[in-house]
Structure 1
Amino acid sequence: MSTDPSKYKLNHSMLRVKDPKASVKFYEFLGMKLVNKLSFPDAKFDLYFLAFDSPKAVSHGNHWTDREGIVELTHNYGTEDDPNYKVANGNTDPRGFGHLAISVDNIQAACQRLEDAGYKFQKKLTDGKMRHIAFVLDPDGYWVEVIGQNLAEETEHIKETSTETYRMNHTMLRVKDPEVSINFYKDVMGMELLRTHESQAGGFNLYFLGYGPPAPEAAKPGLNPIADREGLLELTWNYGTEKDPNFKYHDGNAQPQGFGHICVSVDDLEAACARFEEKKVNWKKRLSDGRMNNIAFVLDPDGYWIEVVQNEKLQKRSNW
């Protein structure tokens, strides 16, 4: 048995939702399609997997485990009827998970379309100094960043947008110590550091990691060379957190709950887990733990859960 981390994929990011009908409708409005649904009535929860799947999508027609940039919505039965149920979106205390991000063909037209549909924004394009990004809110208040695949000024005169060209670009997690986290995602998870953005004035750095080829040089200044990719991980480091021994981010699985995990699909699940064991990872769940022997969970340095599943295109294991 052997495993090749270059064949891994950052498959999905999981969010708990209150009302699956409202949430699925929102992500479908973004242009995503329900590519799988798993129901566990005995355990009283359903899982909805949404991805961009048009003929122009990166992973069009692929098995759900052979994709990057899926959003998994977890619905625990009854939350939709509970007036007091509310998720933790990660951006008010306790903080941890930050946002999902989609990249679009025309950021002005895409944001206008969302606004016309009645969806609320955390930040519109016209808010603040940063006029090239926006944050729309999903029905549970999770932040979804909207970024352009082109320079904003190149699309200002165009009034149309096609969701067929959108990408689920990245998932943002805040990290305490960037050196430790970057080393973990590179050495243990097999990702590459694709891009670094330093904001000394803002007191934070952003690190973008992922699988696949290195980031090309930006064609023009200000152009994001990885905006057309899917399944990236953005690590946000706020200066100074690494020096505070008591500082800790919220993993989303302790109360109050919200974000659940990211998931990596691998070429050989048994071999990948054996490799993780050799790397002396902290486990939340080994393959052999419990009844579900087709998933494992590794903990990253901040305690975020990383699910590990088999890429079913490369090797058949589970009938899902």
Structure 2
Amino acid sequence: MSTDTKTYKFNHSMIRVKDPKESVKFYEHLGMKMIRKVEQSEAKFDLYFMGYDSSGAISSGNHFSNREGLIELTHNYGTEDDPNYKVSTGNADPYKGFGHTCISVDNIQAACQRIEDAGYKFQKKLSDGRMRSIAFVLDPDGYWVEVIGQNPVEKTEGVTTTDTKTYKMNHTMIRIKDHEKSLKFYKEVMGMELFRTSENASANFNLYFLGYPGKDGIPTTSANGVNPTAEREGLLELTWNYGTEKDADFKYHNGNDEPQGFGHICISVDDLDAACKRFEDLGVNWKKRLTDGRMKSVAFVLDPDNYWIEVIQNENLKESQHKI
């Protein structure tokens, strides 16, 4: 058995939602399409996989396991009728951990205006604060969705049109305690490459953008100086706040302990058995091995901050017994 990390894809990020109709409607407004729906009526939950699928999308028409930048919405039956149910978005103390997903758009001013015209609320508008090149819109559950431009803001000023067919699911952000440990894990264990580092010493934090290059390599930067990785999809942003690694008692909330919200990130691999054997040989901490439980088609690895990483078979790369 062999496995090549260059074939791996950052397939999806999972978040729990209260009302799937409202959530699907929101992500469809952002230009996404429901790529796949999995109904688990016996276990009383459904999964909705949302992603960009226009003719210009990077993964257009692909099998869901052969894509990057999907968002999996998990709905547990009955939450939509429970007035007391709400998710933990990962951005409020003491449950910070998951930060946001991010889409990149052709024209950020027009895209934000279109979102606002639809009645959706913002955590941060373009005009708020000092950073005028990014915005954060709130989904129906209050999760943050960052909006960045594929073009510099000065070039799109005054342009009133935006085409959702050009949008990309650019990245998912999680906060990390120890940048050295996390970078080592995601590079050496998960096989990702570090594409960009944004150091913000005056604000005491750094950002690290990682992803899979693909077998033939994908350009990692564009001419957009503010967001040079805006043309990519399926990146992982690690946010490190200085000093957290020195606090023995400090930890982030992984979204799966109560109160729940964010669930996991997921990578698809060329050979699931071989990939899991490699992870085992590297001494990873497991949440679930392939052989555990009834679901023999998925495994879950724990990263240094106890975030869950699902591992699935890329069905385009191998006919497998592990179909999901």
Which residue number corresponds to residue 157 of structure 1? 158
Which residue number corresponds to residue 99 of structure 2? 98
Secondary structure at the aligned position of 1:112 is classed as helix
CA distance change for structure 1 residues 46 and 218 in 2, over 3 Å: closer, same or farther? closer
Q: Measure how far apart 1:224 and its partner are.
A: 2.5
Unaligned runs of 5+ in 2: none
Which residue number corresponds to residue 197 of structure 1? 198
Establish whether residue 305 from structure 1 lines up as the match of residue 277 from structure 2: no
Cα distance in 2 for residues equivalent to 1:203 and 1:89: 23
Establish whether residue 290 from structure 1 lines up as the match of residue 293 from structure 2: yes
Secondary structure at the aligned position of 1:298 is classed as strand
CA distance change for structure 1 residues 319 and 309 in 2, over 3 Å: closer, same or farther? closer
CA distance change for structure 1 residues 217 and 24 in 2, over 3 Å: closer, same or farther? closer
**TM-score for the superposition, normalised by structure 1:** 0.98
Cα distance in 1 for residues equivalent to 2:166 and 2:113: 17
Cα distance in 2 for residues equivalent to 1:216 and 1:25: 31
Amino acid at match of 2:88: A
Correspondence for 1:270 among 270, 273, 276: 273
Unaligned runs of 5+ in 1: none
- The 8 Å contact of residues 197 and 208 in structure 2, kept in 1 or not, is answered as yes
Cα distance in 1 for residues equivalent to 2:218 and 2:282: 24
Cα distance in 2 for residues equivalent to 1:298 and 1:319: 19
Q: Measure how far apart 1:125 and its partner are.
A: 0.1
Cα distance in 1 for residues equivalent to 2:220 and 2:314: 27
User: Where do 1:119-138 residues align within 5 Å?
Assistant: 119-138=120-139
- The 8 Å contact of residues 133 and 226 in structure 2, kept in 1 or not, is answered as no
Moved beyond 4 Å, runs of 4+: 214-218
Amino acid at match of 1:269: L
Amino acid at match of 2:97: G
Correspondence for 1:281 among 263, 279, 284: 284
- The 8 Å contact of residues 177 and 240 in structure 2, kept in 1 or not, is answered as yes
Secondary structure at the aligned position of 2:203 is classed as coil
Cα distance in 2 for residues equivalent to 1:302 and 1:223: 29
Cα distance in 2 for residues equivalent to 1:319 and 1:88: 31
Cα distance in 1 for residues equivalent to 2:222 and 2:35: 32
Secondary structure at the aligned position of 1:201 is classed as helix
Which residue number corresponds to residue 31 of structure 2? 31
Amino acid at match of 1:86: K
- The 8 Å contact of residues 220 and 232 in structure 2, kept in 1 or not, is answered as no
Which residue number corresponds to residue 83 of structure 2? 83
Which residue number corresponds to residue 116 of structure 2? 115
Which residue number corresponds to residue 235 of structure 1? 238
Which residue number corresponds to residue 140 of structure 2? 139
Cα deviation 1:161-197 (Å, max 9, x = unaligned): 0000000000000000001000000000000000000
Q: Measure how far apart 1:316 and its partner are.
A: 2.3
Establish whether residue 314 from structure 1 lines up as the match of residue 286 from structure 2: no
Which residue number corresponds to residue 247 of structure 2? 244
Q: Measure how far apart 1:315 and its partner are.
A: 1.2
Q: Measure how far apart 1:102 and its partner are.
A: 0.2
Q: Measure how far apart 1:217 and its partner are.
A: 5.3
Cα distance in 2 for residues equivalent to 1:85 and 1:186: 37
Cα deviation 1:52-71 (Å, max 9, x = unaligned): 00001010000000000000
Cα deviation 1:201-237 (Å, max 9, x = unaligned): 11100000000136555536x2423101110000000
Q: Measure how far apart 1:130 and its partner are.
A: 0.3
CA distance change for structure 1 residues 216 and 233 in 2, over 3 Å: closer, same or farther? closer
Establish whether residue 6 from structure 1 lines up as the match of residue 6 from structure 2: yes
CA distance change for structure 1 residues 230 and 292 in 2, over 3 Å: closer, same or farther? same
- The 8 Å contact of residues 148 and 227 in structure 2, kept in 1 or not, is answered as no
Q: Measure how far apart 1:277 and its partner are.
A: 0.2
- The 8 Å contact of residues 196 and 207 in structure 1, kept in 2 or not, is answered as yes
Cα distance in 2 for residues equivalent to 1:219 and 1:22: 36
- The 8 Å contact of residues 192 and 214 in structure 1, kept in 2 or not, is answered as no
Q: Root-mean-square deviation (CA), in Å?
A: 1.0
Q: Measure how far apart 1:88 and its partner are.
A: 0.2
Cα deviation 1:268-311 (Å, max 9, x = unaligned): 00000000000000000000000000000000000000000000
Amino acid at match of 2:300: F
Which residue number corresponds to residue 184 of structure 1? 185
Amino acid at match of 1:232: L
Q: How many residue pairs end up in the alignment?
A: 319
Q: Measure how far apart 1:157 and its partner are.
A: 2.3
